[in-house]
């Protein structure tokens, strides 16, 4: 994962942006990057996976009028890039992120309809001094924001980045805390802090001249879509699963998979091993009390698909570990 943060409509202080980046450094230990304009700034922490050598962010378009930072991965970027090349766009990197930038140049927020992937992104447009934020369809990648009293906006992958801005209050939202204690989660778009919200999944936000526009770009459709026979549906499910796993295997660094031994992770490992030219690395966590330990099932799957398997056993002593973290 990577980390993004930034602001618009308020003085872009390099020191504040650096503090925001440090707060989410655990999300991207490989490098950082910044854009500092008069009334806008972007901060980025990178975990290098695709275009390790040339994919540092922010990434700019040809005339540097638009810049992007993105946490996530766009799985269909090769197909999208081919069309953009044919239409005259000039790329500086091999990064999937730059594909989104040029697509946004062409179609604005409609570019999100063409993206297949997981992402939280921010695009600063110097042409009209606007900030564009967006999250993927199911919200795999987080993105929070807070509106400032003077009309500006601050955003980040995590709330701790937003709290580095001196104008953002560190005030708990007691209603949200009540919801958490009742429901065991805080319903979107609220958070545990006053005046800090999350951008909902499948939504984009545009800030310009102190005004915020929030819109949904995708809905999950529940009506029946297929009328084939059961054998045909089984074959279609397997085809879709194969494609979904294979498209996620692009990487310039070693790949691995979490393996619990359950149906979901076992299916992913089976299809990933099938698509991999080298043994897949798998990782499992076991527990000391045998009645809670499912590591044996993970071992069976690892043996069946000849993975490079790694297992960590968590022993008793968790309360002591917690005390050590709190003290």
Residue 307 near residue 279 (C-beta atoms within 8 A)? yes
Q: Which helix (H) or strand (E) holds 178?
A: helix 174-183
Per residue, what are the HEC states of 262-319?
A: CHHHHHHHHHHHHHCCCCCEEEEEEECCHHHCCHHHHHHHHHHCCCEEEEEEECCCHH
How are beta strands 144-147 and 153-156 bridged, if at all? Answer: antiparallel
**Among residues 2, 111, 194, 327, which one is catalytic?**
2
Contact between 3 and 161 (Cβ < 8 Å)? yes
Residues composing the chain: 327
2 is catalytic: yes
Q: Would you state the structure tokens that stand for residue 233, as one six-digit string?
A: 């549906």
Residue 27 CA to residue 156 CA, distance in Å, equals 12
Which residues are catalytic, by number?
2
């Amino acid at each position: 994962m990577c980390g993004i943060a930034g602001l618009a409509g308020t003085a872009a202080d390099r020191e504040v942006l650096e503090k925001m980046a440090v707060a989410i450094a655990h999300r991207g230990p490989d490098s950082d990057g910044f854009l500092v304009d008069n009334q806008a700034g972007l901060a980025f922490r990178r975990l290098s996976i695709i275009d390790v050598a040339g994919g540092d962010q922010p990434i700019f378009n040809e005339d540097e009028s638009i810049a992007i930072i993105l946490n996530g991965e766009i799985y269909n970027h090769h197909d999208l890039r081919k069309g953009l090349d044919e239409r005259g766009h000039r790329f500086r990197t091999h990064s999937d992120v730059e594909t989104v930038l040029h697509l946004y140049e062409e179609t604005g927020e409609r570019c999100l309809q063409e993206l297949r992937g997981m992402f939280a992104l921010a695009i600063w447009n110097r042409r009209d001094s606007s900030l564009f934020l967006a999250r993927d369809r199911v919200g795999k990648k987080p993105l929070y924001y807070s509106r400032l009293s003077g009309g500006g906006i601050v955003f980040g992958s995590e709330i701790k980045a937003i709290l580095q801005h001196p104008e953002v209050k560190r005030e708990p939202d007691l209603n949200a805390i009540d919801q958490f204690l009742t429901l065991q989660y805080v319903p979107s778009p609220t958070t545990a802090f006053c005046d800090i919200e999350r951008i909902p999944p499948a939504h984009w936000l545009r800030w310009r001249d102190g005004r915020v526009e929030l819109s949904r770009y995708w809905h999950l459709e529940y009506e029946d879509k297929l009328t084939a026979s059961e054998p045909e549906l089984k074959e279609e499910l397997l085809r879709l699963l194969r494609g979904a796993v294979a498209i996620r295997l692009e990487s310039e660094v070693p790949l691995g998979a979490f393996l619990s031994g359950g149906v979901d992770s076992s299916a992913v490992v089976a299809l990933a091993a099938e698509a991999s030219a080298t043994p897949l690395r798998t990782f499992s966590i076991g527990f000391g009390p045998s009645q809670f330990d499912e590591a044996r099932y993970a071992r069976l799957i690892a043996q069946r698909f000849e993975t490079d398997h790694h297992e960590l056993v968590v022993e008793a002593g968790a309360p002591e570990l917690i005390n050590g973290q709190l003290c």
